[in-house]
Amino acid sequence: MTIAALYKSRWQVELFFKWIKQHLRIKRFYGTTENAVKTQIWSAVAVYVLVAIVKKELHLEPSLYTLLQILSVTLFEKMPLQQALADSTVAPADSEISNQLSLLGF
């Protein structure tokens, strides 16, 4: 029973770190102390939850991943959230595509 309980606890820790890797995008820890790691994880969880609340309150269609990507790009720009989201869903005009190189050179 003790071994099964230890394995179950270990598995919960593995699942927690898998969730962190998939959702919080923590690439590396900036500190090595227990407090530094906890602070970074809790900060990332807080941001994730705040974005989830904003998504729900504003009835936004993009996924949480997409919202986090948009916010990470527009973090230091002073613009309304709705404008940042609207700009991200607009397809590029043909004039914008014309200056890109062709993949196969045709």
With a CB cutoff of 8 Å and minimum separation 6, the contacts of 20 are 26, 41, 44
What string of pLDDT tens digits covers the 106 residues of the chain? Answer: 898 888 888 988 899 888 888 888 788 889 989 999 999 999 999 999 999 998 899 888 888 888 888 888 877 888 777 777 776 554 544 445 555 556 665 5
With a CB cutoff of 8 Å and minimum separation 6, the contacts of 69 are none
What distance, in Å, lies between the first and last C-alpha atoms of the chain?
A: 67
Backbone angles phi, psi at 69, to 5 degrees: -65, -45
Q: Where are the domains of the chain?
A: 14-86
Q: Are 28 and 48 in contact (CB under 8 A)?
A: no
32 token code pair: 């090595």
How far apart are alpha carbons 74 and 36 in whole angstroms?
Answer: 26
> Could you read off the pLDDT of 40-67 as tens digits, one per residue?
999 999 999 999 998 899 888 888 888 8
